[in-house]
Structure 1
Amino acid sequence: MHIEPKLGPVMIDFEGLHLTTSEISRLVDPLVGGVILFTRNFESQAQLASLIGQIRAARRDVIIAVDHEGGRVQRFREGFTKLPCMQTLGMAYEINKENALRDAKELGWLMASELRAFDIDISFAPVMDRDYGISDVIGDRAFSSDPTIIVALCSAFIAGMHEAGMASTGKHFPGHGAVSADSHVDIPVDGRSLEEITSHDMRIFKEMCEHGMDAVMPAHVIYPKVDDQPAGFSRIWIDILRNDCQFSGVIFSDDLSMEGATVAGGFEARADAALSAGCDMVLVCNNPLAADAVVTHLADFESSAQSSARLTNMLGKTRIGWAELRQTERWRNAVKLANQLNSRGA
């Protein structure tokens, strides 16, 4: 009888190109259910394959994630296709909707298929924030300022991801684009009413619940007219996501090391706040001591069967190896498309 893995609620990272003994010890803790890779973990495709082999040897049943959206946010470069920023697709949509939707699907497939070739489960993508022209951290990562265009292009992009065997993660619920502060280094505050946020930003996430969105990452943004806690620590916002938006997939916290998370207290308190609010998995990045502290603190934590099942759905599905992928006509055409879109955006 096949037994599904039970994934723990903590996602961790690593310091370098290969796992250390202490990192392997951290990885095998049953409370660790995911790992996220950064640019510092990538030197070449051969090295990446070796690193992932180490991870899989230690833990077969762990989600391997990366931020590989395209444009400014693409962790692996050498040997991988340079993906255009998503704003390029939004601009193309204004000219020819059908072509832009086709291109979005192919870029989603290309991004996901190249990562799946190396046994990476997910990229935290796509960005579903609106571009209001005031957020540097969002900016051209957003498809558009128009919710209708964002929903259309995200739906196509996710369809491509699914064809490559990768689940999607929409970010940053309920919308990060209307604040100028960067939650990596600041504590953004969005003073709009719930009604305004719902009609202008959250409607995107609500519609995407019906268009293939498998997971959501809430914003480290405070919306004081709704709650005094950032969305990922807020039972109110998570309840809105689960009940009003009818979302049944995974909820990942954003990185607990970010400045926007500090309002909840120390790392243990941040993890408690996110999990008690309803997140399925918390990310603890760029601070191995904090990761150890969180894992130790959660020693008695028991993920619900429902949460564990949701996380298991994020594991990669089908994939083909890199050499075989490069032989396909679809890959060659998708690479040409990416190069063309990059030229337009240059």
Structure 2
Amino acid sequence: MTTAEQAASIVMGHVAGTDPADLHAYMESGLGGFILMGTNIPASEVELQTLTAALAVDPAFPPLVAVDQEGGIVSRLVGDDYPASTTLKDLPVSDTAAGFAARGSLVARAGITVNFGTVADVTADPGSFIYGRALGTDPAGAAERVAAATTVQEQFLGSTLKHFPGHGAAPGDSHHAIPSTGMGVEEWRAADAVPFAAGIDAGASLLMFGHLAYTAVDAAPASMSATWHEIAREQLGFDGVAVTDDLGMLTSSGVPAYADPIANAVTAVSAGNDLVLMIAGSTRETAGQMAAAIAAAVDAGALPPERLEDAATRVMALRLQLSSATSAWTVCPDCAPAD
């Protein structure tokens, strides 16, 4: 692959719309992935299957097709009435396994290969932004549920842990700010790291880095931090695809250093992300501009070519793995609906 092709392959794009032909044309630039938002979900599952199939320029080597299907509070797909975080945190771990087996099957049946749906954040504070979406109120309980959700989903799609290194310790909403905490690494390892470690050990394919600043570790948000990527790789043993949270959220923080999403994409790859993602504020040109900037940074010597090659290799490997998966799945017929 050329440098430009490698750069395009590590960008996950997004545009609104449900026209399969239009989305197919959008993906012809060689983007490695596409994230479906509410504006991409047509009225019927058959139409959705047609749309997801159209995203593959080469049907033998489809892109990563992702969705945020946590269930409950964050839900894109029609028909997900299975128990979600709002109730699962108070139910036995087996309920989490059953709920996410059904949810993951619904995702896979639609032709979606990646679910950004496992929230590994933990907090006992009902006032926290992330409380309703977290699977547990204590590290041990959250870890058990995160591991269960990961294990069942990984049988037929790429599951994702988010928002590393943990939203629970950093108060605030990362859609509009950069939540921060003074928590150090040792305290983090004993608390907020526990569910992420459990999910990694359970085989999560992706790890989403949040726009969260643990200032005692690095003043930069984790999504832009080489230190946090090293911790994930070296201390927790994560060897899958590191993906940014929506870079459009970072530009909305009002912090001048992160006002340019194109520059943020280059910084994110340099820090260790394998896949860059932008939704909020994205236009039809944004993904291509990000890819061009990443390639230009390599050509200028600002981004080591080995870093880009490593990122592209990880993304390609996951695409090949998911496209060749043969595991059978079915939406479980006896899962209880959410209360």
- Interval containing the TM-score (normalised by the shorter chain): 0.7 to 0.9
Match of 1:175 in 2: 166
Match of 1:264 in 2: 258
How much does 1:84 deviate? 2.8
Match of 2:223 in 1: 232
Are the counterparts in 2 of residues 151 and 207 from structure 1 also a CA contact under 8 Å? yes
Q: Partners in 2 of 1:267 and 1:113 — Cα distance?
A: 34
Q: Partners in 1 of 2:254 and 2:63 — Cα distance?
A: 25
Same amino acid, percent of matched pairs = 27
**Is the aligned partner of 1:130 residue 2:129?**
no
**Is the aligned partner of 1:295 residue 2:296?**
no
Match of 1:152 in 2: 144
Sort the Cα spacing of 1:74 and 1:48 in 2 relative to 1 into closer, same or farther, 3 A: same
Q: Partners in 1 of 2:36 and 2:327 — Cα distance?
A: 19
How much does 1:17 deviate? 1.3
Sort the Cα spacing of 1:292 and 1:24 in 2 relative to 1 into closer, same or farther, 3 A: same
Match of 1:53 in 2: 53
**Is the aligned partner of 1:113 residue 2:114?**
no
How much does 1:110 deviate? 0.7
**Is the aligned partner of 1:38 residue 2:37?**
yes
Q: Partners in 2 of 1:62 and 1:256 — Cα distance?
A: 20
How much does 1:200 deviate? 1.4
Sort the Cα spacing of 1:271 and 1:226 in 2 relative to 1 into closer, same or farther, 3 A: same
How much does 1:119 deviate? 1.3
Q: Partners in 1 of 2:122 and 2:242 — Cα distance?
A: 20
Sort the Cα spacing of 1:267 and 1:304 in 2 relative to 1 into closer, same or farther, 3 A: closer
Are the counterparts in 1 of residues 169 and 183 from structure 2 also a CA contact under 8 Å? no
Sort the Cα spacing of 1:207 and 1:58 in 2 relative to 1 into closer, same or farther, 3 A: closer
Map residues 202-281 of structure 1 onto 2, 5 A cutoff: 202-258=193-249, 259-260=252-253, 263-281=257-275
Q: Partners in 1 of 2:254 and 2:209 — Cα distance?
A: 11
Are the counterparts in 2 of residues 24 and 58 from structure 1 also a CA contact under 8 Å? no
Q: Partners in 2 of 1:272 and 1:214 — Cα distance?
A: 22
Sort the Cα spacing of 1:246 and 1:273 in 2 relative to 1 into closer, same or farther, 3 A: same
How much does 1:76 deviate? 1.3
Q: What is the letter of the counterpart of residue 326 of structure 2?
A: T
5+ residue gaps, structure 2, are 299-304
Q: Partners in 1 of 2:333 and 2:174 — Cα distance?
A: 37
How much does 1:199 deviate? 1.8
Q: Partners in 2 of 1:48 and 1:219 — Cα distance?
A: 29
Q: Which string of whole-angstrom CA distances, capped at 9 and with x for unpartnered residues, describes residues 121-178 of structure 1?
A: 0111211100231664311211112111111111111221123x11221111111012
Q: Please identify, of 292-301 and 65-74, the stretch whose mean Cα deviation from structure 2 is larger.
A: 292-301
User: Secondary structure of the equivalent of 1:179?
Assistant: coil
Match of 1:8 in 2: 9
Q: Partners in 1 of 2:292 and 2:24 — Cα distance?
A: 16
5+ residue gaps, structure 1, are 93-99
Q: Partners in 2 of 1:70 and 1:168 — Cα distance?
A: 14
Are the counterparts in 2 of residues 188 and 222 from structure 1 also a CA contact under 8 Å? yes
How much does 1:213 deviate? 2.1
How much does 1:20 deviate? 6.1
Are the counterparts in 2 of residues 250 and 310 from structure 1 also a CA contact under 8 Å? yes
**Is the aligned partner of 1:318 residue 2:326?**
yes
Match of 1:101 in 2: 93
Sort the Cα spacing of 1:266 and 1:68 in 2 relative to 1 into closer, same or farther, 3 A: same
User: Secondary structure of the equivalent of 2:276?
Assistant: strand
Sort the Cα spacing of 1:219 and 1:132 in 2 relative to 1 into closer, same or farther, 3 A: farther
Q: What is the letter of the counterpart of residue 140 of structure 2?
A: T
Q: Please identify, of 154-163 and 303-312, the stretch whose mean Cα deviation from structure 2 is larger.
A: 303-312
Aligned length: 315
How much does 1:309 deviate? 4.0
Q: Which string of whole-angstrom CA distances, capped at 9 and with x for unpartnered residues, describes residues 166-222 of structure 1?
A: 122111111101233111112212222222222211232223322222211111011
Are the counterparts in 2 of residues 134 and 179 from structure 1 also a CA contact under 8 Å? no
Q: What is the letter of the counterpart of residue 277 of structure 2?
A: L
Are the counterparts in 2 of residues 173 and 231 from structure 1 also a CA contact under 8 Å? yes
Q: Partners in 1 of 2:170 and 2:271 — Cα distance?
A: 23
Q: What is the letter of the counterpart of residue 296 of structure 1?
A: A
Sort the Cα spacing of 1:137 and 1:48 in 2 relative to 1 into closer, same or farther, 3 A: farther
Q: Which string of whole-angstrom CA distances, capped at 9 and with x for unpartnered residues, describes residues 80-115 of structure 1?
A: 2323322412211xxxxxxx2222212121111111
Q: Partners in 2 of 1:204 and 1:158 — Cα distance?
A: 11
- Give the RMSD, CA atoms, in angstroms: 2.5
Match of 1:71 in 2: 72
Are the counterparts in 2 of residues 17 and 42 from structure 1 also a CA contact under 8 Å? yes
Are the counterparts in 2 of residues 184 and 260 from structure 1 also a CA contact under 8 Å? yes
Normalization by structure 1: what TM-score? 0.83
